[in-house]
Amino acid sequence: MLKKIAIASAARDQISKPFDPHIVADVNDAQVKVAKFGELFDWHSHPDEDEAFLVLEGRIAIDLRDGSVELGPGEFLNVPKGVEHRPRSLTERPIVLMFEKASTLNTGDAKSDLTVLDLKRLEA
């Protein structure tokens, strides 16, 4: 059965803490994930995986070692594999879609207490 999901609304209701990605959908070997971002995340990279970000609500920054890219609603950024980065919020609890391989770990090559191994699914 096909179900549509009001992603931003569902994320506001179901995600209680920042940087806790929830799976929205499986797409071939990839997943669409949604998370609320917090003030600061770990510096990390994904040696074998690209990671793409689409802001639904609020504003975020993706810090890179040579600067930052700020994104607002409807803005998209692809971070190529191997590029060290650190996402952070610029507004309170922005909601962000991420597009990545299903095997992608949220903290990439930097394991920490922010690492999420058992992702929940966003409910329609």
- pLDDT of res. 117: 86
Which domains are delineated in the chain?
7-121 (2.60.120.10)
CA 4 to chain centre: 20
Question: What is the mean pLDDT for each group of 10 consecutive residues in the chain (124 residues)?
Answer: 93 96 96 96 94 98 98 98 97 97 88 88 92
The predicted pLDDT at position 95 comes to 98
pTM more than 0.95: no
Report in angstroms the alpha-carbon separations of 112 from 36, 43, 74, 75, 109.
Answer: 18, 11, 30, 28, 10
Whole-number pLDDT of residue 115: 86
